[in-house]
Amino acid sequence: MEPKEYRSSIMERRKEVLASLGNLGAKIYEQIDRGFFPSIEMPSRSTENIYYDPKFRQYILGDKRVKRSARNIRHLKPFAQLVWTALFSYELTSQRKTSTLRDVYYSAQAYEMTFKDQQESNNIITDLETVLGFSREDFNIFPEERSAVFGDLTISYTVPGYEGKTLNLTSHPDGVMIGPALTSADFVETSADKVIAIEKGGLFTRFIEENVHKKFNAILVLTAGQAPRATRHFIGRLNRELRLPVYVFTDGDPWGMHIAMVIISGSANAAHLRDLTTPDAKWSGVWATDIVNYKLPTDPLDEIDMKRLYELQKDPRYKEDPLWQREIKTFMKIKRKAEQEAFSRYGLTYIVDEYLPAKLEETK
């Protein structure tokens, strides 16, 4: 562990973000001042420009670039929105305040920059991410989703009022919320030797109650469905900074499988960003083959499930490891799915006593 280095890195990053935002403003100012219509170039995020990169083991953007020019009537409004969003982000970051996506949408009205809807405002924020290469959490903009963590990890806050304060993440047995404060905290110390990410809240609580963190020396992370970006970033940091292997447990269906995949290789939507992936993380279950081997209670896969399976089968991320294709084929064959809670049919502790150790061993 090298806590010193990482503490400073969090502060350094904030400075970089501010400089980058300021430069964007300066560049536009200059173009106008010299009598040109200002324009901004950025990599295209259209589907044809998204490639799977086996080296990074995630989607990345290709060489195609788009130009947003204030000369073009169709670009004019989004261009203005982008500059405003940059300004708003600058103020947030420099004042060390956070904001939700919803706040951004409303705050724009003070500047007569009304967005048509939340979607439009979210798109512009993604544009800003793409232009500058930082993620919205770097601009202190967070979505509302909340996930949680539990285990022997001591962190040190960097948020105002808590600078330097530490907290051990076992201190609250309901789990510690992953919010802006935790995301921006530095890691101080841990005795854990692995990370277990869990899709469902019920199982997260069960694991805490059954002392999985102690019995398996693990930091438990609740993704609460598809993991929010901040949580993915947090898991990535646990993996990279603390060198902890990551095991992901999800429901046994195409959607659960994909929750694991997004933690591992990221999503196409975030092809313009790095550091959100954990390429070495493992999907440890519930696999389709587990459904068969453990004779779990199941529901039939419906049409939408099957359609999703066919999509995933063709997805380059699913071609990396033969495990994925095998499980997809098994799902297609058995046409059934099972939830994590399905193990309750063997009693509440079966999943911890039997299933978990077996799967951790199997996917080591």
| Chain positions contacting another protein, by CB under 8 A | 21-22, 24-26, 28-29, 32-33, 35, 37-38, 70-74, 76-77, 79-80, 83-84, 86-87, 90, 111-113
What is the Cα–Cα distance from 54 to 47, expressed in whole angstroms?
A: 18
Q: For its own copies, which stretch binds (CB under 8 A), given 25-33, 74-82, 144-152, 280-288?
A: 144-152
Q: How far is the CB of 341 from its own copies (least distance, A)?
A: 5
Asked if 264 and 57 touch (Cβ cutoff 8 Å), the reply is yes
Q: Which is nearer to its own copies, 92 or 263 (CB)?
A: 92
Q: Please identify, using beta-carbon distances, which residue of 84 and 249 lies nearer to another protein.
A: 84
Q: Which stretch binds its own copies (CB under 8 A): 40-48, 61-69, 306-314, 335-343?
A: 335-343
- Our finding on whether 48 is near its own copies (CB under 8 A) is no
- Determine the Cα–Cα distance for residues 352 and 360; give it in Å rounded to an integer: 11
- In single-letter form, the type of residue at position 291 comes to I
Rounded to 5 degrees, φ, ψ at 3 are -55, -40
Task: Choose the contact partner of 164 out of its own copies, another protein, none; CB within 5 to 8 A by kind.
Answer: none
Alpha-carbon 150 to chain mean position: 18
Number of residues that bind its own copies (CB under 8 A): 52
**Distance of CA 340 to CAs 3, 259, 326, 352, 364, Å?**
35, 13, 20, 12, 20
Q: Which stretch binds its own copies (CB under 8 A): 23-31, 79-87, 154-162, 272-280?
A: 154-162
The only residue of 22, 297, 300, 316 in contact with its own copies, by rule CB under 8 A: 297
For position 341 contacting its own copies by CB under 8 A, the verdict is: yes
Q: Is residue 177 a contact residue for its own copies (CB under 8 A)? A: yes
CB 94 within 8 A of CB 18: yes
Specify the stretch interacting with its own copies by CB under 8 A; choose among 177-185, 280-288, 305-313, 355-363: 177-185
| Three-state secondary structure call for residue 114 | coil
Give the pair of three-digit tokens for residue 69.
């020019």
DSSP state at residue 353: I
Min CB(46)–another protein separation in Å: 20
Report CA-CA distances (Å) from 203 to 206, 325, 341.
5, 27, 7
Exposed / middle / buried, residue 241 (Cβ in 10 Å: 0-12, 13-18, 19+): middle
Known catalytic residue at 90? no
**Side-chain half-sphere CA neighbours of 217 within 13 A:** 8
71 binds, among its own copies, another protein, none (CB under 5 to 8 A by kind): another protein
User: Is residue 108 classed as helix, strand or coil in its secondary structure?
Assistant: helix
Find the length of the chain. 364
Least gap, CB of 132 to another protein (angstroms): 12
For residue 97, state whether it binds its own copies (rule: CB under 8 A): yes
Residues known to be catalytic: 106
Binding site for its own copies (CB under 8 A): 92, 97-100, 102-103, 105-107, 109-110, 142, 144, 146, 148, 157, 159-162, 167, 171-182, 200-202, 205-206, 209, 211, 224, 297, 339, 341-348
